[in-house]
Amino acid sequence: MSSLLSRYRRALIAIVILLVVSPLFGVVGAELVGYHEPLDVAAEALGLEESSIWSGLLPDYSIPGLPEDWLSASMGYIISGVVGVLIILAIGFILTRLSGK
């Protein structure tokens, strides 16, 4: 694991930077413009309605129970990002171990 950290130091630093600035785009920016991607435009045109079956442990990259002001939402967004990155690295680490055998 430590060799992984040193070999991919630049990539990991880039990931940390992405996570730290992500609320600017994912929370603050999204509220300014209103998060609205082309899929929403198409769905609106057909009158499709979202009906969520499973909203996840951290729904929409937020921590359930945190206040809804932008600062808490931003913290929740960053923590969600860190959790996601760690889960993916852990899966990758396990698969790497398995593939090495």
Binding site for other proteins (CB under 8 A): 4, 7-8, 10-12, 14-15, 18-19, 21-22, 25-26, 29-30, 32-39, 41-43, 45-46, 48-61, 77, 80-81, 83-85, 87-89, 91-93, 95-96, 99-100
| Nearest to 84, CA basis, from 19, 1, 26 | 19
Looking at the Cβ atoms of 66 and 91, the one nearer to other proteins is: 91
How does DSSP assign 46-94, residue by residue? HT-----S---SSGGG--TTS--SHHHHHHHHHHHHHHHHHHHHHHHHH
Output the smallest distance, CB 65 to other proteins, in A: 16
